[in-house]
Amino acid sequence: MTLTAIDIGNTSITFGLFRSTSLIRSFNIQSSGYSLVKLKAKISAKMLRDTVICSVVPDLTRRLSRDLRALSGKEPLVIGKDIKVPIRNLYRKPRQVGQDRLVNAYAALGIYGAPVVVVDFGTAITFDVISRKEEYLGGMILPGIKISLEALNQRTALLPKVRPDIPNDFIGRDTKNSMLSGVIYGFSSLTDELITRIRKAVGKDTRAVATGGNANLISKYCRRLNEVNTNLTLKGLSMLYFNKKNT
């Protein structure tokens, strides 16, 4: 493979194997259970050449970088350290923006053009807005679907533990489906309303792109999304890698 792109998140680590600019294979390892043994079970040393990492978990960045060096004999490139995302960041404190959000913004800008908003349905739900001038404006951060369901279980006496899933009915007729309906229809309605407000602020032609682990689950209930691209972060990492390699 030409490149292994790695997105380290709070819930899972996503790996994308690229041959040139084409994504050939992807797989996940749970962040909480990561080990070198699990990595070796998913990918062989001979498949590893260049690697690029985007991470929001510093400890896992160090551990995975060490393991990749041991397997491939090469130093991985880390977004924010070895590769800077070439987008004008208008956050009041630019360093507060997660590198994954900047990578998503860069990828969406390159693939879909500006203006564009990326909605990442991950551990948290994030909205990242790119202006017509191709500037990163900022966005919104909300609790994700799994976090919300866990909070209902942990902070109440009687509500059960429920995994993210499709509700049976819009009006839930048991506790589990009432929780699922509230979260799925609630967050999809919230997503549509925020996209509507973003379009009023940035431009009515603003494209809305969904990504993240729960994008396929919730996007079918959203009416304002234009695209679903679950590999957006991996694609952004490959774009940044080849851009650096060719300059």
User: Angle at the Cα of 138 (from 147 to 59), degrees rounded to 5?
Assistant: 50
Distance CA 32, CA 25 (A): 22
Residue 113 contacts residue 106 (beta carbons within 8 Å): no
DSSP class of residue 174 equals S
Is 7 considered catalytic here? no
Catalytic residue among 7, 100, 120, 128: 100
Which residues are registered as beta bridge partners of 245? Answer: none
Give the Cβ contact number of residue 49 at 10 Å.
Answer: 12
Distance CA 20, CA 17 (A): 10
Distance CA 105, CA 173 (A): 40
Q: Is 237 helix (H, G, I), strand (E, B) or coil?
A: helix
In order, the DSSP letters of 52-109 are: EEEES-HHHHHHHHHHHHHHHSSPPEEBTTTB---SEE--SSGGGS-HHHHHHHHHHH
Determine the distance from the C-alpha atom of residue 9 to the mean position of all C-alpha atoms in its chain, rounded to a whole number. 8
Q: How many helices (H) and strands (E) does the chain have?
A: 7, 11
Q: Known catalytic residues? A: 100
